Amino acid sequence: MRIRSVELLTLRMPLVAPFTTSFGTQTERFPLLVRVTADDRGREVEGWGECVALERPVYSPEYLDSAREILARELVPLVFADQAAGREVTAESFGELVRPIVGHRMAKAALELALLDAQLRLDGRSLASRLGVTAESVPSGVSVGIQESVPKLVEVVGGYLEDGYVRIKLKIEPGWDVEPVRAIRERFGEVPLQVDANTAYRLSDAQQLRRLDEFGLLLIEQPLAEDDIRQHAELARLIQTPVCLDESIVSLAAAADAVALGAAAVINIKAGRVGGYLEAVRIHDLARANGVAVWCGGMLETGIGRAANAALAGLPGFTLPGDVSASGRFYFEDVTEPVVLEAGRIRIPTGPGIGVTPDPERLARLTVARRTLNA
Ligand code: NPG
């Protein structure tokens, strides 16, 4: 495969409702799409990737402008230079090629996915098949932001359960934890329920977090800071709710440490956070070999990232429902065909590559910035 150009497209998409987490409120999302144009023996294809970095560095050190910058300044030039030196760049060789650039995993993941999509399209093979997935669909959970009141939360959760979501994740923070969870349990009984703190607590909050034990939660996600892996292990000994790590798991090595320390009974895998889908599969394999459950996280992706996440979530170690929800959970209109919920499940695309492409008219309308880099 010869790469001819890489285009960076920044989209602007309003959210159907504000999404509040312990790190702030989002009312719109600026997805960064990567389009690789490549050819092989006279056939030209486009490969698509999506960068999950937020506008501001409140979830991870990366943010939208840093990702665009590092792609244009370092990652894409490395790809072009390797190709100019006579080597074929593939998604499989990409990780090693960009290893000299420290970090910037979300930017790397986006370009890796675009390369993977392009080469799979040339091969006529689906991403799911490439990853070894045989499932046809995955169960769909929904992430529910912090609301203005408990009655409002009950109403919002009721709507999602009516839509068919099979698992509810509540965002929590100090001051919004036990009461909302209690209200959901009282109103909706034993619905599969978990909470996500996005690093909002400290180990000294263990007593408060222990109050969640009585609700039989599937897990508590990332209660402590990203680099507090050892402290998560301590917290896990103080509470009964299984501890799940998200922000802390930035790589296979971090996952291996967390598992060895007993800091993660469960891992949320997000391909963007760990540097790509290939690393995500390695983490899945490690977790599976160690009896650690994993599930697929979400970052308000467009249909591009959602399609790839659905494929990843089809691997056998993904034993818990993921944040792989329908397009309508966050967006009025998606840039691809909308991802829809069918009896609580999302279908894994079967077409070549990620199996979906942006609609040209919607893409043009939603794009607010564009940069093309030519080989
Ligand atoms: O379903 O796409 C989704 C969103 C799920 O809550 C969700 N994501 O902390 O996991 C998270 C959170 C998030 C979203 C984090 C965007 C960072 C950015």
Kindly state the average pLDDT of the residues 283-293. Answer: 98
171 catalytic per annotation: yes
Q: Which residues line ligand 1 (CB under 6 A)?
A: 54, 59, 143, 196, 198, 246, 297-300, 323, 325
Torsions phi, psi for 164 (to 5 deg): 110, 0
Alpha helix ranges (H) inside the chain: 64-70, 76-84, 91-97, 105-123, 127-131, 150-163, 178-188, 206-210, 229-238, 252-261, 271-274, 277-289, 303-312, 360-366
- CA end-to-end span of the chain, whole Å? 13
Average pLDDT over residues 233-244: 98
CA 86 to chain centre: 34
Task: Please tell me the distance from the alpha carbon of residue 1 to that of residue 226, in angstroms, as a whole number.
Answer: 38
Beta sheet of 2-11, edge-to-edge order: 43-51, 32-40, 2-11, 367-374
Give the pLDDT confidence score for residue 327 in this predicted structure. 97
The question of whether 169 is a catalytic residue gets the answer: no
Q: Is 142 left (phi over 0), alpha (psi -120 to 50) or beta?
A: beta
Pick the closest to residue 368 from 335, 329, 330 (CA basis): 335
Report CA(39)–ligand 1 centroid distance (Å). Answer: 35
From the candidates 108, 152, 169, 171, give the one annotated as an active-site residue. 171
Q: 88 is written with which tokens?
A: 């074929």
What amino acid is encoded at 205 in this protein? D
Q: 176-208 pLDDT, tens per residue?
A: 999 999 999 999 999 999 999 999 999 999 999
CA of 194 to the centre of ligand 1 (A): 14
Question: pLDDT (tens digit, 9 = 90+) per residue, 14-66?
Answer: 999 999 999 999 999 999 999 999 999 999 999 999 999 999 999 999 999 99
The pLDDT, as a whole number, for residue 5 is: 98
For residue 268, give the ligand 1 atom closest to its CA.
10
Predicted TM-score of the model (pTM): 0.97
Give residue-wise pLDDT tens across range 110-165: 999 999 999 999 999 999 999 999 999 999 999 999 999 999 999 999 999 999 99
Cα of 300 vs centre of ligand 1, distance in Å, is 6
What is the secondary structure of 294-359 as a DSSP string? EEE---S--HHHHHHHHHHTTSTTB-S-BS---GGGTBSS-SSSPP--BTTEEEPP-SSBTS----
Q: What is the mean pLDDT of the chain?
A: 98
- The contacts of residue 337 (CB under 8 Å, 6+ apart) are 303, 356, 359
> Residue 193 in contact with residue 217, Cβ under 8 Å?
yes
Kind plus residue range of the DSSP H or E element containing 24: strand 24-29
Pocket test for ligand 1, best of 245, 300, 339 (most atoms within 8 A of CB): 300
| 292-320 residue pLDDT tens | 999 999 999 999 999 999 999 999 999 99
How many angstroms separate the CA atoms of 345 and 2, rounded? Answer: 37
Ligand 1 nearest atom to the CA of residue 171, by list position: 6
Residue pair 44/265 in contact (Cβ under 8 Å)? The answer is no
Which pLDDT does position 283 carry in this prediction?
98
CA of 144 to the centre of ligand 1 (A): 10
Residues 282 and 99: beta-carbon distance below 8 Å: no
Ligand 1 atom closest to 298 (CA): 2
Distance (Å) from CA 41 to ligand 1 centroid: 40
